[in-house]
């Protein structure tokens, strides 16, 4: 797998990196949350800006992001606006989405920027290119909260995202059965055989938990863990996850 190095974190190498989302509604909540999250020593931080009450005010968003960066210093920050249609907290007009992501990237306020490729549509390739030109690492994402597509469809979705020029691709699906979890793992391993692009996959909910711990074997390079609060169903507490990932790594050696 290609390795993406951001501030001393090597994504795509060794133990899957733990990313903890910040989900506070306002500055006070986020500051309190950051103190809790820091204790778990995450590899990456995700700011889920769709949880933020002032997400429609780019100036306030950039201000908050500045504080998050100052607070985490050497820990790379992933900036995500997860839209309602893909399981997030809010809807947003695509023009506002573009404006926000561009502003954050141009001001170099995020190390990694999440782009919902299928939600944004055809123009996502050009958009990803523009964001990359600012120096940001772009993570292409797709989320299915209502179910799990077939292995073929998931593998095709990962392939499409790889080809739109993103540096990392991510797919999150909701299982209705144990077989669905296996389907996600199969699609992940299929892409591992054919592509060096770092990928992140997860099957959400309690039954999908296996997918959050086995990335070193299946080729999923980042796993999302809960800090103060989970940002999606099935996330494991960061401290517990760190232990399990470390044990698996040691056994594999």
Ligand X SMILES: O=C1C[C@@](O)(C(=O)O)C[C@@H](O)[C@@H]1O
In the annotated binding site, the residues are 46-48, 82, 212, 231, 235
Residue of 151, 155, 210, 204 whose CA lies nearest to 175: 204
Residue of 148, 217, 216, 213 whose CA lies nearest to 180: 148
Q: How far apart are CA 6 and CA 167, in angstroms?
A: 12
- 213 to 242: interface string for ligand X, x by CB under 6 A: -----------x------xx--x-------
Q: How far apart are CA 154 and CA 202, in angstroms?
A: 11
Give me the active site residues, please: 143, 170
* Known binding positions for 3-dehydroquinate: 46-48, 82, 212, 231, 235
Q: How far apart are CA 111 and CA 113, in angstroms?
A: 7
Query: Least CB distance from residue 252 to ligand X, whole Å?
Result: 23
Query: Least CB distance from residue 179 to ligand X, whole Å?
Result: 19
Query: Least CB distance from residue 202 to ligand X, whole Å?
Result: 5
- 74 to 113: interface string for ligand X, x by CB under 6 A: ------x-x-------------------------------
Query: Least CB distance from residue 191 to ligand X, whole Å?
Result: 17
SS3 107: coil
| Residue 197 touching ligand X (CB under 6 A) | no
**Residue from 4, 61, 187, 202 binding ligand X (CB under 6 A):** 202
**Residue from 11, 17, 20, 21 binding ligand X (CB under 6 A):** 21
Contacts of 152 (CB under 8 A, 6+ apart): none
**Residue from 11, 17, 20, 46 binding ligand X (CB under 6 A):** 46
SS3 163: helix
Residue 129 burial (CB count, 10 A): 12
Residue of 88, 160, 98, 170 whose CA lies nearest to 131: 98
What string of DSSP letters covers 183-224? HHHHHHHHHHHH--S-EEEEE-TGGGGGGGT-HHHHT--EEE
| Residue 141 touching ligand X (CB under 6 A) | yes
What string of DSSP letters covers 57-86? -HHHHHHHHHHHHHHHTTS-EEEE--BGGG
Query: Least CB distance from residue 41 to ligand X, whole Å?
Result: 19
242 or 252: CB nearest ligand X? 242
* Count of residues that interact with ligand X, criterion CB under 6 A: 15
Can you give the binding site for ligand X, defined by CB under 6 A? 21, 46, 48, 80, 82, 141, 143, 170, 172, 202, 204, 224, 231-232, 235
């Amino acid at each position: 797998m290609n390795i993406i190095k951001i501030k001393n974190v090597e994504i795509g190498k060794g133990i899957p990196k733990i990313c903890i989302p910040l989900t506070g509604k306002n500055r006070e909540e986020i500051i309190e949350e950051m103190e809790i999250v820091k204790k778990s020593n995450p590899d990456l931080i995700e700011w889920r800006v769709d949880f933020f009450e002032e997400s429609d005010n780019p100036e306030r968003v950039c201000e908050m992001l500045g504080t998050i960066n100052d607070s985490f210093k050497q820990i790379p920050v992933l900036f995500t606006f997860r839209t309602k249609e893909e399981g997030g907290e809010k809807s947003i007009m695509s023009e506002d989405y573009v404006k926000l992501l561009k502003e954050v990237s141009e001001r170099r306020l995020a190390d990694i920027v999440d782009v919902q490729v299928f939600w944004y549509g055809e123009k996502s390739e050009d958009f990803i290119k523009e964001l990359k030109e600012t120096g940001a690492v772009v993570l292409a994402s797709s989320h299915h909260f209502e179910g799990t597509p077939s292995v073929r469809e998931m593998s095709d979705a990962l392939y499409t995202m790889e080809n739109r020029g993103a540096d990392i691709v991510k797919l999150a699906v909701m299982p209705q059965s144990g077989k669905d979890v296996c389907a996600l793992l199969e699609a992940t391993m299929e892409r591992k055989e054919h592509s060096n692009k770092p990928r992140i996959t997860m099957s959400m909910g309690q039954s999908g938990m296996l997918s959050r711990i086995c990335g070193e074997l299946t080729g999923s390079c980042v796993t999302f863990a809960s800090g103060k609060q989970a940002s999606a169903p099935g996330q494991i507490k960061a401290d517990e996850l760190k232990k399990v990932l470390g044990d698996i790594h040691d056994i594999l050696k």
